[in-house]
Structure 1
Amino acid sequence: MSSTSKTDATVCSGKDGLENRGKDFYPTYKEILLTDKSSIKPVTLSAQLVSLPTIAATGKETYGSETINEASSDVRLAITKMIRDADRIAQHYTDLENSVLSAKSDVTPIVNSYTDALIACTLSGNHPTWFIPEDLTGN
C-alpha cells in the first residue's frame, strides 16, 4: 500500500490526477464563480466534465478508485464526490444537448465538489499547478 502523502500527490498533482484531468473544467469554473453564470454550451460542459471521473486511472483503467481509496480521507472523500457529481452532470448535459431533457440544470453540485477537491488537494500540499486561489477573487 502506498503512503498517504504519495497517493495524495498522485491523485491531486500527478499526471493522471486532478492536475491534468481537472484543468479543462477550470476556466468554466472560474467564470461561474466570478460571474455567477456561464455562456458555455451543454455539450462543451459535458466534454469538460468527462475527464474528471478518470482521475487516478492508469493504463486501461476507466476509473482510479483503487488509487483514490488509498488517499487521505479528506482527499479521498472530496475527489470521490467530485467524480460522482461530474459523471452525473456530464451525462445530464449530454442528454440536454441531444434534446432528451428539457429541465434547466444546476451546476452547483459540481462547482461545490470541485471546490472541495481543490481545497483538499491544496491542504494536503498537492494542489494542481494551474490552481491559483487569488484568481478567484475577481481582483
Structure 2
Amino acid sequence: MSTRWYPIYQKGGPQLRVFLPNFWLKLVRPTHEQPPNVVQFSCSMQMTKFDIKNYLEKIYNVKVVDVRTRIAMGKTKRVHGKGYVIKEDDIKYAYITLPKDEKFVFPDLFPENKAAKEEEETTLNQAKKGLQEFLEKNKERPNMPGWFSV
C-alpha cells in the first residue's frame, strides 16, 4: 500500500485516486563475474523475494526462475573534525535467475568506437579552422569587438 495522500473521492466527480506501490528496482552492474542468465538489481528494503518476482513478471513480462536477495551493510564513517560516527543506509540486492535459453548483457552506454572519435576530431578541426579565418579577417582591426565585422 502506498503512503501517499490522495484527494477524497467526491460523488459524481472524476476519480483522482491512483494507487502506486512504494517498491522500486534499479538495475546494477555486477561487481563480480556472473552467469549470462543472472541479473543484479538494487531494490527497496521492504521487498520480499515474492514481491520482486511478481514485480518483474507482471510489470515487465520477464520470466523469472529464481530470486536470491542479500543485504549489504552500509559503511560507517567518522566525521573528520567532529568526532561522531555516521552510517550509510543498508542496500538490498536481488539476484534474478532467468531461464537457461535467455541471457542478459549489460548495455554499454558509453561505447568507445573510432567513428565517434573521428567525428569529434573533425568537429574540433572545423572549429579551429573557423577561428583562424576569423583571426585572419580581423587582424587589421586590433581593438574592434568580434561582433562588429563586415
Q: TM class, shorter-chain normalised? A: under 0.3
- Report 1 or 2 for greater relative contact order, CA contacts < 8 Å, sequence distance ≥ 6: 1
TM-score (norm 1): 0.25
More helix by share: 1
TM-score (norm 2): 0.24
Higher Cα radius of gyration = 2
